[in-house]
Structure 1
Amino acid sequence: MNLENLPLYTRQQLALRNGQDRPEIWCAYQGFIYDLSHSRLWHKGRHYVHWAGQDLTAEMADAPHTPYVFDKFEPIGRLQA
């Protein structure tokens, strides 16, 4: 997969995929957007104290797991800077 060919999404577009207004549950990490809709840990757009539809890069430092958790998911897009 060529990651540079992934579609670009704005923060506003990402925010719409929060599991509340639409069924999609998307989060961004290090510039890439991941679809977490099928994860059992993201119920209704929430994972413990984290909410979908946003960039979780800064929050990863406080997570009890490593960033490798995103290796379970294919990136579906890139977050526009």
Structure 2
Amino acid sequence: MDLPIYSKQQLALRNGQDKPEIWVAYKGNIYDVGSSRLWKNGKHYEHWAGQDLTDELPDAPHTEAVFEKFEVIGLLK
């Protein structure tokens, strides 16, 4: 299956504010985290949806395994 490719600008609109989608990117994959109560309104602790969180993960209290709960819905170009 070919996944759609999105720019950082397109990802930024999926922040739970500008559009109803709540997406984040990690290592080039874009995940729909809208089903998570921890991402309600597009905010997760000090992080906002619509961003690439690859560089933020080392500071998180969890590992990248957290992304396994979510569907990859696109790729970040």
Q: Structure 2: any 5+ residue segments left out of the alignment?
A: none
Which residue, out of 49, 66, 76, partners 2:63? 66
1:1-81 to structure 2, matched below 5 A, reads: 2=1, 5-80=2-77
% identical equivalent positions: 68
Which aligned segments of 4 or more residues in structure 1 are displaced greater than 2 angstroms? Answer: none
**Cα distance in 1 for residues equivalent to 2:24 and 2:37:** 15
Q: Structure 1: any 5+ residue segments left out of the alignment?
A: none
How many aligned positions are there?
A: 77
**Cα distance in 2 for residues equivalent to 1:61 and 1:48:** 15
Q: TM-score, normalised by structure 1?
A: 0.92
Q: Report the RMSD for the aligned CA atoms in angstroms.
A: 0.7
